[in-house]
Amino acid sequence: MAPSAELYRLLIERAADGIAIIQDGQVVFANGRVSEIIGYSFDEIASRPFQEFIAPSDRAQVLERYELRMRGEVVPPTYEASLVHKEGRPCRVEISAGLITYRGRPADLAIVRDVTDRCLADEGSRQIERRIRQLHQVAAELADCATEDEVFRVAIEAAEGILSLSICTLDLVEGDRLVVKATSSGAPTGASQSRPMDEGGLAAKTLRTGRSYVFGTLAEEPDAVPTQAAFESGLSVPIGSLGILQAASTEPGAFTTEDVRVLEVLARHTASALERIRLQAELREQAIHDPLTGVFNRRFAQEAIERELARCRESGRPLMLLMADINRFKEINDRFGHQAGDRVLTEVASVLCRGVRDQDLVIRYGGDEFLILMPEAEGEVDALIASLHDGVARWSESDGTTDFPITLAIGSARYDPAAGGTWEDVLHLADRRMYEDKRNGSVSPVEAEG
């Protein structure tokens, strides 16, 4: 038995795809699915030119295909185009069209399938792939950074470029505070503020838990305390235990879980770069500093001396040298133990560092001997020597490590590039004068040898 017209009608109305008939350029039939796709009822669609419902960017292409089919020419039957929803938003569809006879006349039968979600998914996949490629490039840039400031710049630029974050900040922990290190170019004045950790808030929570947070509205995250009244949504990601990356938006629901994941990857690369730079700096510090006293070590001395001599020759101004030695140091070790000797070394080094000028260099030259390089200090040396003697005497009087006063023997010498002579001559002269100062004091010859 042949299918009834009623059965055809039911099949068409219940079809998962939109079905429309276009005749003489107008929509003469459309099932309910077409109305669902574009938001117009059939009464709003009927007898209107079909191109009115095509997005302007695709209108010429769709109209050309329709006219070619009407002329009987071969045209690929399936293609994609964007329709315009009644609410004004674009709707991506796949159209399969072909000639039919409708009420005795040629017409175009169009089967319309909504592929908006698929296109969004495809675009999302492409965006993820694009972000991953960009993150690989950023990781390489961060690995090449030589300073923390470079890391801050690269990280913020990546947040702006990869995630399009116009309002973001990078803050690091310094002591008991979170200190702003970099902000995005679009951040309003005052959007990023350094603050004490004990003030709490989402930043402190992010660091305390080591977790990321994203909120679409302020009501979703009670710990969020926006610095601008206009901020509606935001996200907060830890940079290991070093700090945080945060972003804000004036729009609710501006950030997705995908944004969080991408920012977390960026934060991990940022943390690795900062840890590497800090480790390298620590190793450099260890290489040039004496581990006991914290002053420069003898390994650094030659480099420092060569640099200062070069400056001295360039400026034509003399370089002053002090050589200091702790009197009766061997007796301190023998009578009170090496821990007491280490304490005396450490405290004397501190007195020397506090007593010299900012531009002077204090170097532990060996044992209990210290070198002090003093560029452009002519005329100040005698006052400085007196100040160092006084500083050690005051510390010794209040300390009580030994039962006798701790004192210094100090010798000075002057290197003048215009006078000739070598640096070794100056070094030997300072050493001899220091030994003379030791003998001229209350130290016995035997003690002086120590």
Confidence (pLDDT) at 368: 92
- 315-348 per-position pLDDT tens digit: 878 888 999 999 999 999 999 999 999 999 999 9
- CA–CA separation, 197 and 435 (whole Å): 53
Residue 290 lies in a domain: no
Residue 292 lies in a domain: no
Confidence (pLDDT) at 245: 92
The letter for the amino acid at 148 is E
Predicted confidence (pLDDT) at residue 204 exceeds the cutoff of 90: no
- CA–CA separation, 191 and 82 (whole Å): 40
Q: Which residues contact 18 (CB under 8 A, 6 or more apart)?
A: 30, 31, 33, 34, 36, 37, 93, 110, 111, 112, 113, 114
Confidence (pLDDT) at 38: 84
As a whole number, mean pLDDT of residues 178-191 equals: 81
What average pLDDT is seen over the chain? 84
What 3-state class would DSSP assign to 417?
A: coil
Cβ atoms within 10 A of the Cβ of 89, count?
A: 11
The first and second tokens of residue 74, run together, are 């071969």
99 and 124 in a single domain? The answer is no
Residue listed under structure tokens 């301190």: 332
CATH of the domain at 382: 3.30.70.270
Predicted confidence (pLDDT) at residue 445 exceeds the cutoff of 60: no
Task: Give the residue numbers spanning the domain of 61.
Answer: 5-114
Residue 409 lies in a domain: yes
Confidence (pLDDT) at 119: 60
CATH of the domain at 20: 3.30.450.20
252 and 307 in a single domain? The answer is no
- Distance from the first to the final alpha carbon of the chain: 123
DSSP class per residue in 158-220: HHHHHH--SSEEEEEEETTEEEEEEE-TTPPTTSS--EEGGG-HHHHHHHHHT--EEESSGGG
Predicted confidence (pLDDT) at residue 409 exceeds the cutoff of 90: yes
Predicted confidence (pLDDT) at residue 265 exceeds the cutoff of 70: yes
Residue listed under structure tokens 């009087």: 397
Q: Which of 119-133, 191-205, 309-323 is the most confident on average?
A: 309-323
Residue 226 lies in a domain: yes
Listed range (53-57, 193-197, 279-283, 418-422) with the worst mean pLDDT: 418-422
Predicted confidence (pLDDT) at residue 447 exceeds the cutoff of 60: no
Predicted confidence (pLDDT) at residue 444 exceeds the cutoff of 60: no
- 350-400 per-position pLDDT tens digit: 999 999 988 889 999 888 999 999 887 777 788 889 999 999 999 999 888
86 and 46 in a single domain? The answer is yes
102 and 195 in a single domain? The answer is no
Q: Which of 64-73, 87-96, 234-243, 441-450 is the most confident on average?
A: 234-243
- CA–CA separation, 341 and 349 (whole Å): 12
Predicted confidence (pLDDT) at residue 186 exceeds the cutoff of 80: no
Q: How many CA atoms lie within 13 A of 327 on its CB side?
A: 24
Given a contact cutoff of 8 angstroms between Cβ atoms, the answer to whether 8 and 87 are in contact is: no
Listed range (154-158, 256-260, 337-341) with the worst mean pLDDT: 256-260
As a whole number, mean pLDDT of residues 410-424 equals: 84
DSSP class per residue in 222-283: TT---SSTT--EEEEEEETTTEEEEEEESSTT---HHHHHHHHHHHHHHHHHHHHHHHHHHH
Percent of the chain whose pLDDT exceeds 70: 92
As a whole number, mean pLDDT of residues 85-110 equals: 84
- 7-30 per-position pLDDT tens digit: 656 667 767 788 888 889 888 888
125 and 21 in a single domain? The answer is no
The letter for the amino acid at 292 is L
DSSP 8-class letter at 55? -
402 and 303 in a single domain? The answer is yes
124 and 215 in a single domain? The answer is yes
DSSP class per residue in 324-364: EEETTHHHHHHHH-HHHHHHHHHHHHHHHHHHS-TT-EEEE
Residue 293 lies in a domain: no
As a whole number, mean pLDDT of residues 54-60 equals: 84
221 and 349 in a single domain? The answer is no
Residue 276 lies in a domain: yes
Split into its structural domains, the chain has a count of 3
Which runs of consecutive H residues, i.e. helices, occur in 23-89? 32-38, 42-45, 56-70
Residue 212 lies in a domain: yes
As a whole number, mean pLDDT of residues 189-200 equals: 76
Residue listed under structure tokens 């951040």: 187
Q: Which of 253, 285, 317 is the last residue of a domain?
A: 285
130 and 272 in a single domain? The answer is yes
- CA–CA separation, 70 and 23 (whole Å): 9
DSSP class per residue in 97-141: EEEEEETTEEEEEEEEEE-HHHHHHHHHHHHHHHHHHHHHHHHHH
Helix 298-315 to helix 257-288 angle (10° resolution) is: 80
Predicted confidence (pLDDT) at residue 442 exceeds the cutoff of 60: no
Residue 410 pairs in a beta bridge with 324
Q: Which of 114, 147, 175 is the last residue of a domain?
A: 114
Given a contact cutoff of 8 angstroms between Cβ atoms, the answer to whether 237 and 245 are in contact is: yes
Confidence of residue 128 (pLDDT cuts 50, 70, 90): low
The number of angstroms, rounded, from the C-alpha of 47 to the middle of its chain's C-alpha atoms is 60
Angle at 230 between CA 224 and CA 233, to 5 degrees: 45
Residue 291 lies in a domain: no
Given a contact cutoff of 8 angstroms between Cβ atoms, the answer to whether 106 and 99 are in contact is: yes
Q: Which residues contact 167 (CB under 8 A, 6 or more apart)?
A: 184, 186, 187, 188, 191, 231, 247, 248, 249
Confidence (pLDDT) at 406: 93
Given a contact cutoff of 8 angstroms between Cβ atoms, the answer to whether 320 and 378 are in contact is: yes
279 and 326 in a single domain? The answer is no
Confidence of residue 121 (pLDDT cuts 50, 70, 90): low
315 and 441 in a single domain? The answer is yes
Given a contact cutoff of 8 angstroms between Cβ atoms, the answer to whether 65 and 144 are in contact is: no
230 and 315 in a single domain? The answer is no
Confidence (pLDDT) at 448: 37
